Amino acid sequence: MRFSHKIKKLLSGQGLASARRHTLRSIRTKRFPLAPERVIETIDPVTFEQIRQRYAVNNPTEDWRKYLDLNRWIAINIRRIRDIELDFARRKRILDLGCGAGYFLYIAQSLGHAGLGLDLDRVPMFAEITRLLGVRRVVQRIRAFHPLPDLGGKFDLITAFMICFNNHRHANLWGVAEWNFFLDDIAKHLASRGRVWLELNRESDGTLYTPELKEFFQKRGARIDEHKIMFNSGLPEPASTSSVAH
């Protein structure tokens, strides 16, 4: 982030709110320690090592083997837990889209929340790890203009981290119409005043979204903080949908 942008953010309401969140997170971290090593101790070391040997050793060039680094990914997901304030929230029912190895849901479940993951089934390693962690998973591809399946009820929180389902590695990036359909669809799975927390990947040119898409998210009621798109109280309709077409 450029220095001038940091100064502008600091002087804005967004900067003050961010500072407040960091202060509260620091207080919670001291009062309610959720250390990576304590979480890792709860994972069966023998079975996990068998999985690690099978995939890290036999598939050393595969990009997804990086998720076998427990210290790194448990720490990352503890930070996500704290960002969303699940470490001291009442019990919530969570749907995690693109759940991967299931670390986020595993930590959430250890805090008393109920979780369901949704992902592809193209990486056998993820299936083995989610099974080891006791994370329930639905196998489903998220595609533009295709609704999610019946997931058995409403969720208090829907999350998606490091989003790839919007085809960010290809030319046919999702635009306003695709995102509008997607948000309308997940709204059907969201409990009243439920929250949605999305984290986007940067594109090859370094951008996260077009100005048009950013404006659309804001019209839908999102709070935007760099790559994070957050809806803190349901998914209201945009102020105007006349320009949104499939």
Among residues 164, 151, 137, the alpha carbon closest in space to that of 64 is found at: 164
- Report the alpha-carbon distance of residue 15 to residue 208 in Å, rounded: 19
Tell me the domain boundaries of the chain. Answer: 13-42+69-231
Q: Label each residue of 24-64 as H, E or C.
A: HHHHHHHHCCCCHHHHHCCCCHHHHHHHHHHHHHCCCCCHH
By the 10 Å C-beta count (0-12 exposed, 13-18 middle, 19+ buried), 198 is classed as buried
One pLDDT digit (tens) per residue for the chain, 246 residues: 454 554 455 445 555 445 544 544 554 444 456 899 999 999 999 999 999 999 987 776 677 889 999 999 999 999 999 999 999 899 999 999 999 999 999 999 999 999 999 999 989 999 999 999 999 999 999 999 999 999 999 999 999 999 988 876 666 789 999 999 999 999 999 999 999 999 998 887 788 889 999 999 999 999 999 999 999 988 877 655 444 544
Q: What are phi and psi of 103, to 5 degrees?
A: -60, -40
Q: Which residue has the tokens 């749907």?
A: 95
Domain 13-42+69-231 CATH assignment equals 3.40.50.150:
yes
- Report the alpha-carbon distance of residue 97 to residue 88 in Å, rounded: 22
Q: What is the pTM of this model?
A: 0.83
Q: Could you tell me how far CA 166 lies from the centroid of its own chain?
A: 14
